[in-house]
Amino acid sequence: MKKPVWADIIPETDIEVYTKAGFSKTFGYGKKPAVLFVDVEYGFVGVDPEDDIVQAIEKFPYSCGKDAWKAVNEMKKLIEVACKHQVPVIYVHSKRKKEAKRYGELFGDEIVEPIKPRPEDLVLEKDGYSAFFGTNLVSHLIALNIDTLIVTGGTTSGCIRATVIDAYAYKFKVIIPVECVFDRAILPHKINLFDMDAKHGDVVGLEDVLEYLEGLSAQG
């Protein structure tokens, strides 16, 4: 990632304060990653990739429109490389009543088709914002000897942030591919990326993550 996505909104004085306080350090990658998709369902992504945010929320009130679909397209690249190197892929989404709006059999809590889970992928339902809340996610990660969690999905300021903080608390190395997370508003998206990068993990470009995954074979 050549230039941080938050560069246009975070004042230089704030960056200086964070740096002098000991934040803004690089956490790095571990040796055994897993890829986590958080709330990549129609209710949060949206129904139609061509819908802007206003059109999207008319169909599902929590959906994020074009930015979310753009992130989904980047997630497809991540899945392809992760599967190539047999990296575990995990989906966690909200546990809530299915709501059919105006699209027949299409329900808000279904994971979007372009990145639909394979039979071998783990799919969990959570009770709160964090992917760890009300799930046995941490037990699965420990059983797989995972030390690095690549976190994607939405929203950046909500469920992604909560998941990242918990993952950091559980001592996982946390990687956030900037192209693979989304929010319904740009300001909280950028501010939360800045803060998470400073305190809890590394916000990096997707190409950096793909290069890391491609290098796993050489490590093994």
CA–CA dist 43, 29 (Å, integer): 32
pTM: 0.93
CA–CA dist 44, 63 (Å, integer): 4
Q: Is residue 25 a part of any domain in this protein?
A: no
Q: Is residue 17 a part of any domain in this protein?
A: no
Three state DSSP letters for 30-47: CCCEEEEEECCEHHHHCC
Per-residue model confidence (pLDDT) at position 167: 98
CATH number at residue 119: 3.40.50.850
136-146 pLDDT tens trace: 999 999 999 99
Per-residue model confidence (pLDDT) at position 218: 64
H/E stretch holding 153: strand 148-154
Low-confidence ranges of the chain (pLDDT < 70): 1, 96-106, 218-220
Count: domains in the chain:
1
CA–CA dist 190, 185 (Å, integer): 9
CA–CA dist 21, 123 (Å, integer): 39
- Residue 176 bridge partners (DSSP): 203
Query: Residue 192 in contact with residue 176, Cβ under 8 Å?
Result: no
Q: Is residue 20 a part of any domain in this protein?
A: no
Q: Is residue 23 a part of any domain in this protein?
A: no
Q: Is residue 114 a part of any domain in this protein?
A: yes
CA–CA dist 77, 58 (Å, integer): 29
Q: Is residue 119 a part of any domain in this protein?
A: yes
CA–CA dist 33, 63 (Å, integer): 29
Query: Residue 178 in contact with residue 201, Cβ under 8 Å?
Result: no
Per-residue model confidence (pLDDT) at position 181: 98
Q: Is residue 138 a part of any domain in this protein?
A: yes
- 105 residue type, one letter: E
Per-residue model confidence (pLDDT) at position 103: 47
Q: Is residue 16 a part of any domain in this protein?
A: no
Range of the domain at 46: 31-76+84-157+169-219
